[in-house]
Structure 1
Amino acid sequence: MFETLKRARDRFFGDGDASVAVPIFDGAFRPNNLLEAAPVFAEMPGLEDLAVSTDGVLHAARGNDVLRFDDAGGSTVVAQFDAPVQALASFIDGGFAVAAGGRIIFEGGTRHGESFDKVQGKSLICVNALQATSGGKLLISDGSQSRPYAQWSHDLLEHGHSGRVLEYDPATRQSRELAHGLAYCHGVCGDGTRVLASQSWAHNLLALDNATHVPVLNALPGYPARISPAQGGGFWLSLFAGRTQLLEFVLREHDFRRKMMNTMEPHYWIAPALSSGHDFQEPLQGGSVRQMGILKPWAPPRSYGLVVRLGNDLRPRYSLHSRVGGKHHGIVSAVEQGAYLMVLSKGASRILRLPLADLNGSNSHDTHS
């Protein structure tokens, strides 16, 4: 009874779960043009995920292939699969774990050719991130049990909360579920002492242990995706889109949302996008329009590019941006390769390369416009 009254009160006043307020880009999230101005290392359609092998070579998932890149950005196909590759992770034995076609397949290394498609008796539906731990186990983000990977916007608009974090031991072929009921898990990373998982629809990071799932970073201004370790401790967190008040409002208007999904093509839904500005029929997203050929400075982001550097204490240190009107949006992966940060902009079909020395030296607060 109390919860029913509270929901009615929040809806009347626009508070609590009924609030449509979104965090602003300020402090460690203060906008800059570092992603927009970043050198382009490679450009090709279909790029999906990045991983760095034990010999320091960059690999990428693209379509049904796994690519190996040389230092100049040239690529070679090193493995092909029967379905699109959704996630990629490198093992210390030189092999890879690949998520494709509802299965996780081991390519190269001591487990070459092994695969599995279920954990704890449940099929792998939406594997979108993998990470190999220092102990040789595999962490798995299975984003949704109700929607496949390509239908992530359906899961958002349906208020999906069926994501799982899983752990698989290739040596024993044993697996366990670390967490379930997540609001679209889209990234997982362990550093030996803890396992972090991103919840895209809840806009937060969780720390997982055997007893609790504790939010350690809340109220992010966008939708978090994959996580990777950083030199000297801490992490890189990719955010594939920014939040808007319009979408927060639509998520609370159930009749409108259902009618929109039933009568319109998904590309035109009021939902986050990996890129925008290519079709005049896109939803305007409030004030996101041009006036006399100039994008309004207050335009909310239908798509956005954002990477956040987290310290070992999980506090945001600084961030890298491609702002509204930019090209390098839809950031789904950021990994360190030697002296560089390699960033995958799925919206632009590009891999960007930024010198770590420049980022860590300036803390990215001195480059604004």
Structure 2
Amino acid sequence: MIAPIRNFIDRIRGNGRHAITTPPMDGVLQPNTLIEDAPLLAPISRPDNLVRRGEEMLFSSGNQLMRINGTTPEPVEAFPHAVNALAASTGNALAIALMDGSVIVRGGKHDGFSLDQRQAASLTCITALCFSGEDRLHICQGSHRNPLSEWKRDLMERNAAGSVWTLDLSQKSLTKIASDLAFPYGILADDKDSLVVSESWQSRLISIDPSGNVRPVLEDLPGYPARLAPQSSGRGAWLSVFAPRSQLIEFVLREDKFRADMMRSIPSDLWMAPSLTAPHSFLEPLQGGGLKQLGVMKPWAPTRSFGLIISLDENFAPVASWHSRADGTRHGITSVADRGEELVAGSLGGDALVSLRHSGGLPA
């Protein structure tokens, strides 16, 4: 009873969830240029879903499954639909989720497994996968209202239409374990038989126990979190943050009539909304002296896009970060993979794979 009353009062006063303030980028999140200055591994169109399977580094590019050996990407397999998510098990199984809801397993104990059409119809927007052992695959569905390609519309509609599912590969059964989530976009199994999920539109990480109970783990992030990846040390995790929050976007999210008019009359690339790519058009909503000085982009300019990777300790507290700022181009980091002392990051908005050196989750 108290929660609805508190929510009503917060809405009137602009407090709590209804505030338009955003957390400062300070402490371990203080901006730097480590992503922008990192060596380029390979230019590649829209790299996403980086995973490490044994000694292999795999990722997706559109409908292609790719492998990178050294600095050379090479195709492994092409699919009839875009690849939405990948996950690798300790037994070298690779799960592949496609845009149409299909989930396919290559290698390992369940090689050749695929969901039937009836089950796949429940999964209209798969955003992330992770294995828990060889027999269980956990699945994030970002929204049952919009496909992954329409993530921006899902945010602007203020949906909480996401869910987390468990697929038992032995029994071929699919079970929903949490629903009404605000675009779950990353998932990691912890050592307590729970799942840690990045809930993008709430800018937080949550833990979901086997009974489906949800509790916050890390709240009030300065951006929209994407995928989680384990650190090679076995302690801690990597969190990709694909776009920044801002007071202007928070304000727009609270103006229903303006937002509806904007979505109806303006192309989505020009909405006052987060973006995966650095500014490239004079028609974009943030322009002029607020962004540039003497024709040069200010690193501290307000921006709808950036690149951000956060190193988390075993308690999912931030300990270090890597950035590409407003004046950079390696924006829209949606996934990373750790191979020892090298972290490979995919800039979905910058069409680049970059190599970041680290030592125990800290910049090297």
TM-score per shorter chain, which class?
over 0.9
Residue type of the alignment partner of 1:174? S
Distance 1:240 1:304 in 2: 7
How far is the alpha carbon of 1:251 from its aligned partner? Answer: 0.4
Per the alignment, residue 212 of structure 1 pairs with 213
SS in 1 for 2:274: coil
Contact 2:226/2:334 (8 A) holds in 1? yes
Contact 2:139/2:165 (8 A) holds in 1? yes
SS in 2 for 1:260: helix
Contact 1:240/1:274 (8 A) holds in 2? yes
How far is the alpha carbon of 1:280 from its aligned partner? Answer: 0.9
Residues 144-201 of structure 1 deviation map (CA, whole Å, 9 limit, x = unaligned): 0110010001100111101111111212222322211100000011033221001000
Distance 2:12 2:105 in 1: 53
Per the alignment, residue 77 of structure 1 pairs with 75
The counterpart of 1:328, out of the listed 320, 327, 330, is 330
Q: Percent identity?
A: 37
How far is the alpha carbon of 1:108 from its aligned partner? Answer: 3.2
Residues 246-280 of structure 1 deviation map (CA, whole Å, 9 limit, x = unaligned): 00000000000000001111111111000122111
How far is the alpha carbon of 1:64 from its aligned partner? Answer: 1.3
Per the alignment, residue 171 of structure 1 pairs with 170
The counterpart of 1:236, out of the listed 235, 238, 257, is 238
Per the alignment, residue 53 of structure 1 pairs with 53
Distance 1:147 1:66 in 2: 24
Alignment of 1:1-369 (within 5 A): 9-54=9-54, 56-71=55-70, 73-100=71-98, 101-116=100-115, 123-193=122-192, 194-209=194-209, 210-230=211-231, 231-284=233-286, 288-296=290-298, 298-357=300-359, 360=361, 363-364=362-363
Unaligned runs of 5+ in 1: none
TM, length-normalised to structure 2: 0.92
Seen in structure 2, the aligned counterparts of structure 1 residues 339 and 134 have a Cα distance that, compared at 3 Å, is: farther
Contact 1:120/1:176 (8 A) holds in 2? no
SS in 2 for 1:356: strand
Contact 2:310/2:320 (8 A) holds in 1? yes
Structure 1 stretch displaced more, 265-274 or 39-48: 39-48
How far is the alpha carbon of 1:57 from its aligned partner? Answer: 1.1
Length, aligned pairs only: 360
Contact 1:288/1:301 (8 A) holds in 2? no
Structure 1 stretch displaced more, 193-202 or 288-297: 288-297
SS in 2 for 1:69: strand
Seen in structure 2, the aligned counterparts of structure 1 residues 60 and 3 have a Cα distance that, compared at 3 Å, is: closer
Contact 2:298/2:326 (8 A) holds in 1? no
How far is the alpha carbon of 1:288 from its aligned partner? Answer: 4.2
Structure 1 stretch displaced more, 172-181 or 207-216: 172-181
TM, length-normalised to structure 1: 0.91
Seen in structure 2, the aligned counterparts of structure 1 residues 65 and 322 have a Cα distance that, compared at 3 Å, is: same
Seen in structure 2, the aligned counterparts of structure 1 residues 108 and 19 have a Cα distance that, compared at 3 Å, is: same
Structure 1 stretch displaced more, 112-121 or 85-94: 112-121
Unaligned runs of 5+ in 2: none
Residue type of the alignment partner of 1:18? H
How far is the alpha carbon of 1:122 from its aligned partner? Answer: 6.0
Aligned CA RMSD, in angstroms, stands at 2.3
Residues 88-134 of structure 1 deviation map (CA, whole Å, 9 limit, x = unaligned): 11133433111112211112334333211679796111101111223
Contact 2:198/2:205 (8 A) holds in 1? yes
Seen in structure 2, the aligned counterparts of structure 1 residues 140 and 287 have a Cα distance that, compared at 3 Å, is: farther
Distance 1:190 1:2 in 2: 33
Distance 1:280 1:318 in 2: 34
How far is the alpha carbon of 1:47 from its aligned partner? Answer: 1.8
Contact 2:64/2:82 (8 A) holds in 1? yes
